[in-house]
């Protein structure tokens, strides 16, 4: 909840609205209750029992003629009542000298420890609050003091603090420090002689591309992002205030999606397909974007911001090339104008060597990395100097440009921004980072930094980035610089940090990518049999690129739903061409012809093959048929020659084949029976019977001949009665 700054005349009567001492030049508004405000908008200092929350701090750029104005709240976050509460504003005696001090001060304990430099009270800004502050209770404060009265000295970045002291009612004693909030104020009055540092704002526009091959949106996320107050709408609105300051990096997929939404679209809601209702918003968003881009350079991301590392690791190098090479045409179709080059945004700020080689070979000449991916050599940064955010990045096709996003600036942009207090702290931290860079000793002139979010699908508070863009244009220590200017800046020697296991583990999971590979294989086979694959394949190929978006790293469930939907759709189209044959085929011998009927329930002619697959394969001999044309809505019958080995029935799959011989679709099943082995068995049995009969006849004949050869002395055979 944002709290407006109360005017002194609006202060309640429980405290004087204006400190009447004639020596005071500051105006302090009384502490008043704040209804329904969050208990703590910004994290309290470690060890604090009072959270001091700064909800606003002005001016954005301090000048001698301006006033330092701070408004906020104090919150009793302890379990005991506090009395004799007093507030005091302080400034550090001297400006900070190193960027590392900023992080240390931000997490410093209540007493500051060694991190916080010596500070002095702003004499005119203090107040004792009557009454008590019970647990959970909060009170607001507001004060203003002319900057000329703060005794700020040399140009630089100062620490400003609001301290709260009090007494725990359960413990007698003097008031002690119970809470503090510290932030930073750059001070570069006219005549300070600071050399401004260039700042290149990288302004990415992309989304989670949950759109299937038929153009149906799986959810309302993208349409909602284009509506007033939506993520993408706010990004365009803020940048439109100063469109020439930002370097636009646009995903052509979001342009394509917005164009489709503007023309009318369908979306799944609660399992049902409905007509979307954000077409007018999408049309307005496109118009605003085109107006902002007019006269300014536009750089593209690969289509759908493909996870190039995961795709390459899964053998889908073709998809990476397709995402890069198709981007300009898709963007031009949506914008009605030619656009600039394609830039790769590394999802975790780093790229492995193989993927770097792949994208460079695809035509990418610029990658966006974290400054930690290519740290400068010690000699280049001796004295704490920050070099320009540009470097050579070696690939198999030679050096390409690596734009190095300053880690400190990314951290400030990525800080929590849920409350006004958090926005103030993030803004002042960003300004302090840039101000300290500007005054680094012995730094080379004309340095240019790159400012960008660590998350390409960022959703910054509009008030934060709007203020920072204004400061880039107006602050004496900053000057806006384009991406082209950054690429021309001086470079220093740097060392490449390995991609590492953390980079690999952040990619789209191998199990997920296996589903993508399956979808790609199915599309390739479908396209190979179609008479006009251009009417079907491109839509599926684009949807498969969308399924490989880096966005699914953060929304895996939606990504899984998308690739599952794509696979179901492809499988349905493949099933439109199928075999109808089933049952049993009996051969009169060991070989014969197998009748097969192929049906085409699709919308265009196909050219396909068919073959028989036996199990075990050794029992079947058959040559596939190829070049079979089946018109849409028709059936074609063919005969395949086959020879079966063995007398048992053989189950055979009737498998459709692509022109290259790859299996297509789900096979049919028939049973082949050979009668040749049945006849052979009968002949064998007959021969065996004859052999036995002959053996018996021969035996009887021998006995008869033997009896006839017997002499007179031989005993006569007994005669039957």
In this predicted model, what pLDDT tens digit does every residue of 250-304 receive, in sequence order? 999 999 999 999 999 999 999 899 999 999 999 999 999 999 999 999 999 999 9
Report pLDDT for 444.
Answer: 85
What pLDDT band is residue 191 in, cutting at 50, 70 and 90?
confident
For residue 549 the two structure tokens come to: 């978006």
Report pLDDT for 124.
Answer: 66
**Strands 197-205, 448-451: pairing kind:** parallel
Q: Which of 53-62, 336-345, 687-696 has the lowest mean pLDDT?
A: 687-696
DSSP 8-state assignment for residue 625 = E
Q: Is 596:639 a contact under the CB 8 Å cutoff?
A: yes
Report pLDDT for 372.
Answer: 95
Q: What is the pLDDT of residues 542-573, one digit of tens each?
A: 999 999 999 999 999 999 999 999 999 999 99
**Helices of type H across 314-367:** 317-335, 353-362
Whole-number Å distance between alpha carbons of 331 and 319: 18
What pLDDT band is residue 92 in, cutting at 50, 70 and 90?
very high
- Is the confidence at residue 533, as pLDDT, over 70? yes
* Of residues 709 and 467, more confidently modeled: 467
Whole-number Å distance between alpha carbons of 369 and 365: 13
Sheet holding 27-33, edge to edge: 27-33, 138-146, 67-76, 50-58
Report pLDDT for 385.
Answer: 87
Report pLDDT for 171.
Answer: 74
Q: What is the pLDDT of residues 426-461, one digit of tens each?
A: 999 999 999 999 999 888 889 999 999 999 999 999
- Is the confidence at residue 10, as pLDDT, over 50? no
Q: Which H or E element spans position 638?
A: strand 634-644
Report pLDDT for 19.
Answer: 30
Report pLDDT for 380.
Answer: 63
How high is the mean pLDDT of the chain?
A: 88
Report pLDDT for 697.
Answer: 56
Whole-number Å distance between alpha carbons of 205 and 552: 16
% of the chain exceeding 70 in pLDDT? 87
Report pLDDT for 16.
Answer: 31
Q: What is the pLDDT of residues 210-234, one digit of tens each?
A: 999 999 999 999 999 999 999 999 9
Residue appearing with tokens 């290259």: 660
Whole-number Å distance between alpha carbons of 671 and 543: 40
What pLDDT band is residue 41 in, cutting at 50, 70 and 90?
very low
Residue appearing with tokens 């909800």: 55
**Mean per-residue pLDDT for 475-479?**
98
Whole-number Cα distances in Å, 614 to 185, 577, 596, 647, 666: 80, 22, 15, 14, 15
pTM: 0.86
DSSP 8-state assignment for residue 543 = H
For residue 41 the two structure tokens come to: 């908008």
* Of residues 333 and 9, more confidently modeled: 333
- Residue 215 backbone zone (phi > 0: left; psi -120 to 50: alpha; other: beta): left
Report pLDDT for 718.
Answer: 41
Q: Which of 107-111, 379-383, 386-390, 636-640 has the lowest mean pLDDT?
A: 379-383
For residue 115 the two structure tokens come to: 């991190």
Residue 265 has a CB neighbour count (10 Å cut-off) of 21
Q: Mention every residue, 6+ apart, whose C-beta is less than 8 A from residue 110.
A: 45, 46, 47, 48, 177, 178, 179, 180
Angle at alpha carbon of residue 71, lines to 69 and 76, rounded to 5°: 145
Q: What is the pLDDT of residues 610-648, one digit of tens each?
A: 999 998 999 999 999 999 999 999 999 999 999 998 878
Which segments of 282-385 are extended strands (E)? 298-300, 343-345, 366-370
What pLDDT band is residue 675 in, cutting at 50, 70 and 90?
confident
What pLDDT band is residue 690 in, cutting at 50, 70 and 90?
low
Q: What is the pLDDT of residues 399-409, one digit of tens each?
A: 999 999 999 99
Whole-number Å distance between alpha carbons of 438 and 96: 12
What pLDDT band is residue 166 in, cutting at 50, 70 and 90?
very high
Whole-number Cα distances in Å, 652 to 287, 374, 597, 616, 642: 61, 60, 15, 9, 11
**Mean per-residue pLDDT for 127-150?**
88
Report pLDDT for 490.
Answer: 95
Which segments of 129-215 are extended strands (E)? 132-133, 138-146, 156-168, 176-187, 197-205
* Of residues 158 and 679, more confidently modeled: 158
Q: Mention every residue, 6+ apart, whose C-beta is less than 8 A from residue 596.
A: 579, 581, 610, 637, 638, 639, 640, 654, 668
């Amino acid at each position: 909840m944002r709290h407006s700054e109360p005017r002194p005349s609006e202060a309640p009567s429980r405290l004087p609205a204006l400190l009447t001492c004639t020596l005071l030049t500051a105006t302090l508004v009384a502490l008043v209750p704040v209804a329904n405000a969050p208990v703590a908008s910004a994290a309290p200092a470690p060890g604090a029992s009072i959270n001091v929350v700064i909800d606003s701090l002005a001016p954005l750029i301090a000048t001698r003629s301006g006033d330092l104005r701070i408004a906020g709240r104090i919150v009793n976050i302890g379990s005991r009542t506090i009395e004799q509460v007093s507030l005091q504003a302080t400034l550090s005696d001297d400006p900070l000298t190193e960027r590392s001090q900023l992080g240390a001060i931000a997490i410093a304990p209540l007493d500051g420890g060694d991190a916080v430099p010596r500070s002095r009270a702003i004499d005119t800004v203090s107040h004792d609050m009557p009454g008590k502050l019970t647990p959970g209770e909060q009170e607001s404060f507001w004060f203003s003091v002319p900057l000329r009265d703060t005794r700020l000295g040399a140009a630089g970045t100062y620490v400003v603090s609001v301290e709260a002291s009090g007494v725990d009612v359960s413990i007698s004693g003097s008031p002690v420090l119970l809470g503090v909030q510290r932030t930073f104020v750059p001070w570069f009055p006219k005549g300070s002689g600071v050399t401004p540092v260039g700042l290149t704002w990288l302004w990415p526009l992309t989304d989670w591309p949950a759109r299937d091959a038929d153009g149906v949106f799986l959810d309302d996320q993208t349409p909602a992002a284009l509506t007033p107050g939506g993520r993408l709408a706010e990004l365009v609105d803020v940048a439109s205030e100063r469109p020439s300051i930002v370097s636009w990096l646009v995903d052509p997929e979001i342009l394509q999606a917005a164009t489709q939404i503007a023309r009318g679209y369908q979306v799944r809601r609660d399992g049902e397909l409905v007509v979307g209702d954000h077409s007018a918003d999408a049309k307005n968003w496109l118009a605003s974007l085109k107006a902002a881009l007019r006269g300014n350079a536009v750089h593209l991301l690969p289509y759908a911001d493909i996870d190039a590392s995961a795709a390459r690791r899964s053998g889908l190098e073709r998809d990476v090339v397709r995402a890069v090479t198709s981007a300009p045409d898709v963007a031009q179709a949506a914008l009605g104008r030619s656009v600039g080059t394609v830039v790769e945004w590394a999802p975790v700020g780093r790229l492995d060597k193989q993927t770097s080689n792949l994208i460079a070979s695809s035509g990418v000449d610029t990658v966006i990395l974290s400054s930690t991916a290519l740290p400068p050599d010690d000699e280049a940064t001796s004295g704490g100097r920050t070099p320009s955010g540009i470097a050579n990045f070696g690939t198999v096709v030679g050096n390409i440009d690596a734009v190095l996003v300053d880690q400190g600036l990314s951290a400030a942009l990525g800080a929590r921004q849920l409350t006004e207090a958090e926005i103030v702290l993030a803004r002042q931290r960003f300004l302090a980072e840039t101000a300290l860079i500007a005054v680094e000793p012995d730094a080379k002139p004309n340095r240019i930094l790159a400012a960008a979010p660590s998350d390409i699908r960022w959703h910054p508070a509009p008030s934060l980035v709007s203020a920072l863009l204004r400061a880039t244009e107006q602050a004496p220590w900053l000057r806006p610089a384009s991406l082209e200017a950054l690429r021309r800046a001086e470079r220093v020697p740097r060392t490449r940090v390995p991609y590492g296991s953390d980079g690999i583990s952040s990619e789209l999971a191998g199990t997920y990518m296996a589903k993508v590979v399956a979808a790609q294989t199915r599309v390739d086979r479908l396209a190979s049999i179609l008479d006009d694959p251009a009417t079907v394949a491109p839509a599926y190929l684009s949807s498969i690129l969308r399924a490989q978006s880096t966005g699914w790293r953060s929304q895996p469930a939606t990504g899984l739903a998308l690739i599952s939907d794509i696979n179901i759709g492809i499988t349905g189209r493949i099933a439109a061409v199928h075999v109808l044959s089933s049952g049993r085929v009996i051969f009169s011998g060991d070989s014969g012809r197998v009748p097969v009927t192929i049906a085409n329930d699709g919308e265009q002619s196909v050219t396909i093959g068919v073959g028989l697959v036996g199990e075990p394969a050794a029992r079947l001999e058959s040559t596939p048929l190829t070049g079979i044309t089946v018109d849409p809505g028709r059936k074609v019958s063919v005969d395949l020659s086959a020879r079966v080995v063995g007398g048992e029935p053989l189950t055979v799959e009737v498998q459709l084949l692509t022109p290259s011989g790859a299996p297509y679709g789900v096979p049919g099943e028939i049973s082949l029976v050979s009668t040749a082995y049945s006849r052979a068995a009968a002949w064998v049995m007959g021969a065996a019977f004859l052999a036995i009969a002959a053996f018996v006849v021969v035996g009887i004949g021998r006995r008869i001949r033997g009896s006839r050869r017997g002499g007179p002395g031989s005993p006569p055979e007994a005669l039957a009665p």
